[in-house]
Amino acid sequence: MTKLKIGLVGTGYIGKIHALGFRNAQALFPDLPPIELTTICDAEADRAERMRKELGFLYATDRWRNVVEDPELNIIAIATPNFLHHEMATAALKSGKHVYCEKPMGVSLDEACDMADAAARANARTLLAYNYLRSPAFIHAQKLVRGGRIGRIFYFRGVYEEEYMADAEVPFSWRCEKVSAGAGALGDLGSHLLCAAVSLLGAPLEVSADINTVIPTRLLAGENAKQRTVENEDIAHALLRFPEGVTATFMTSRVSWGRKNHLSFEIYGENGSIRFDQERLNELQFFEKDVAESENGYRTILTGPSHPPYDHFIPSAGHQIGFNDLKTIEIAEFIKAISEKSPLFPSFHDGVTIEKTMDAILQSAASRKWVTVDAPIELN
C-alpha cells in the first residue's frame, strides 16, 4: 500500500491529540495503509519545531500555506481556531488533499457551504472531527437504533454542558467573538450533540430556539482591565422536529458548574430506550420492554470487545478506552475511507446539515419563530 503523508496544522490542545491519533492509527488498525507524520505547522516557529520533535514529525514550519499546498502531502489535518478552518480547508482541497478538519466548519453558514462546495469540486475525502461519534458505546447505540431494537422512535432528548466559562473571571477569548468563533456554546459543544442526533435521526426539519448570554462581558486578558462584550451565546435551548414525526429537546451550555464533559442523550422508542453520557463514555444504558416486569430495568452495559472497535485497543471488557482513543478511531476511519474509497460521516457535505441546523437555531432565537432547516442529507 502507498504511504499516506500527513500535514498537521495547529499544535494546541486538539492538534497534539490529532498527532497522537495519526501516530497510532496503524498500530491499532493494522489493515490501514502506512502513515507518515510528515509536516507539522504552528504559527510560532519555535513551537512548531518543538512539537515536531515531541510528536515525531519529519518537518516543521510556521507557514500553513506551505503545508496545505505541499505536493508531497496526501492528507491535511486542521486543528486551528474556527476562523481559520475555511481558508485552510478550501486551499487544501484546491491543492487536491484529503482534509480532516476540526468542528465546527467555520464561523458562518456561508463559510461552511463554501467548504462543502470546494469538497464537491475536489476529488478528495473530507471528515469533520465530531469525535464523540467514535465511542464504541455510541456506535453500539447507533446499531441498536438502526437495527430497530427500540422500534419506531418516540423522541430524543439531549444535552451538552461544560463549565469552562461558568466562572465570570474566565477572560474574554477568541471563543467569545463572532468573527473568530462564530457561535458560542452551540458551535463548540452543541454541534457535537447535533451531529450525534443527525446520525441517529437524520437531518432536522425545523427548530424553535432560545439563547442566552448570562455573563455578558468578560475582562480582556493581558490588557488594562477592559471589559469586552461577549458576542455569542453561553446557553442555547431548542425544540427540534426530525423526520417521521420525531420530536426532540436540545440544550447546550458552557457555563454549567459541575459539568466537565456532559454530552448526554436519551432516545425513546416503542420497544425500549437508550441512554448515553460521555462523562461515562464506556457505559451504555439500555432498556427493552420484553423482559418480565419484576426483573426489568436499564442494563448498564460496559463496553468491551463485542463493541467494535474497542477490540482493537484492549481484548477485555471493562478496561475502558479514553478520549484520545476516540480520536485514533476517527483518524483510522478517515484513513480507511480514503484507502477504500468508502463513504464516511460526517463529511463536509454532511457538516452543512449541522451548520444549517445551528444557523436555524440562531435565527429562531433572534426571530422567536419556528425556522425550517433546509438540509437534505443521506446518511451512510
Considering only residues 55 to 74 of the shown chain, the ones binding a second copy according to CB under 8 A are 55-56
Closest to a second copy by CB, 90 vs 261, is: 261
| Rounded CA separation 230/44 (Å) | 27
Closest to a second copy by CB, 26 vs 113, is: 26
User: Which residues sit opposite 263 in a β-bridge?
Assistant: 160
Q: 3-class SS at 86?
A: helix
Of positions 253, 347, 353, 357, contacts a second copy by CB under 8 A: 253
Cell of 316: 477485555
> Could you tell me the smallest distance in angstroms from the CB atom of residue 114 to a second copy?
30
Closest to a second copy by CB, 124 vs 201, is: 201
Of positions 62, 287, 363, 372, contacts a second copy by CB under 8 A: 287
Pairing status of strand 98-101 against strand 75-78: parallel
Return the biggest CA–CA distance within the chain: 67
Closest to a second copy by CB, 115 vs 202, is: 202
Segment interacting with a second copy, rule: CB under 8 A, options 84-92, 106-114, 116-124, 240-248: 240-248
Segment interacting with a second copy, rule: CB under 8 A, options 62-70, 102-110, 320-328, 334-342: 320-328
Closest to a second copy by CB, 82 vs 135, is: 135
Pick from 102, 10, 98: nearest CA to 61: 10
Kindly state whether residue 147 participates in binding a second copy, applying the rule CB under 8 A.
no
| DSSP output for 215-279 | S-EEEBTTSSS-EEE--S-SEEEEEEEEGGGEEEEEEEES--TT-SSEEEEEEEETTEEEEEEGG
Element containing residue 329 per DSSP (H, E)? helix 323-340
Site for a second copy in 177-206 (CB under 8 A): none
Residue entry with cell 418516540: 154
> Could you tell me the smallest distance in angstroms from the CB atom of residue 259 to a second copy?
8
Closest to a second copy by CB, 71 vs 147, is: 147
Binding residue count for a second copy, defined by CB under 8 A: 103
> Could you tell me the smallest distance in angstroms from the CB atom of residue 220 to a second copy?
20
Give phi and psi for 85, each to the nearest 5: -55, -50
Closest to a second copy by CB, 119 vs 321, is: 321
Kindly state whether residue 19 participates in binding a second copy, applying the rule CB under 8 A.
yes
Kindly state whether residue 155 participates in binding a second copy, applying the rule CB under 8 A.
yes
Cell of 195: 451531529
Kindly state whether residue 113 participates in binding a second copy, applying the rule CB under 8 A.
no
Kindly state whether residue 295 participates in binding a second copy, applying the rule CB under 8 A.
yes
Closest to a second copy by CB, 182 vs 272, is: 272
Of positions 11, 273, 353, 357, contacts a second copy by CB under 8 A: 273
Is the C-alpha dihedral spanning 254, 256, 260, 266 positive or negative? Answer: negative
Kindly state whether residue 154 participates in binding a second copy, applying the rule CB under 8 A.
yes
- Are residues 189 and 368 in contact, defined by beta-carbon separation less than 8 angstroms? no
Q: 3-class SS at 121?
A: helix
Question: Which letter, b or e, does each residue of 253-265 get, where b requires 16 or more Cβ atoms within 10 Å of its Cβ?
Answer: bbbbeebebbbbb
Kindly state whether residue 262 participates in binding a second copy, applying the rule CB under 8 A.
yes
**Own/partner pairs, 295-304, CB within 8 angstroms, 24+ separation:** 301/137, 301/140, 303/135, 303/136, 303/137, 303/140
Cell of 378: 443521506
Kindly state whether residue 45 participates in binding a second copy, applying the rule CB under 8 A.
no
Kindly state whether residue 21 participates in binding a second copy, applying the rule CB under 8 A.
no
Segment interacting with a second copy, rule: CB under 8 A, options 41-49, 73-81, 97-105, 265-273: 265-273
- Cα 73 to the chain's mean position, in Å? 24
> Could you tell me the smallest distance in angstroms from the CB atom of residue 272 to a second copy?
5
Closest to a second copy by CB, 95 vs 328, is: 328
> Could you tell me the smallest distance in angstroms from the CB atom of residue 103 to a second copy?
15
Kindly state whether residue 6 participates in binding a second copy, applying the rule CB under 8 A.
no
